[in-house]
Structure 1
């Protein structure tokens, strides 16, 4: 493989890795937000004390 082709291949691999890292960070941030919202909802003092029923 010649040098320019190797350089392009290495750059593409690096770019793919950086994109994967960015997506993983975004997923972790979203998961953390979901966990925070779930904990906040669970800790709500009146949650689950009443049921709305329509006949």
Structure 2
């Protein structure tokens, strides 16, 4: 068994694992920031405005039959 080849394969695996961990940490940081922003928006925003933003088509028309 070639020691140099084994060493290269092991180092490549470690580099891939470190890159994956770095990307996952960035994704977790972004998710945390988005969660904090959403929480801040929910506490400061008007509930009717939030509902209208979620379903803008509701309440625009009034059907009346005489």
TM-score range, shorter chain: 0.7 to 0.9
- Residue number in structure 2 paired with 1:6: 6
Long gaps (5+) in structure 2: 53-66
Query: What is the alpha-carbon distance in structure 2 between the residues aligned to residue 37 and residue 29 of structure 1?
Result: 12
Report the Cα offset of residue 45 of structure 1. Answer: 4.6
Give me the CA root mean square deviation: 1.7
**TM-score, normalized by length of structure 1?**
0.80
**TM-score, normalized by length of structure 2?**
0.67
Structure ID, larger Rg: 2
Structure 1 runs (4+) deviating above 3 angstroms are none
Long gaps (5+) in structure 1: none
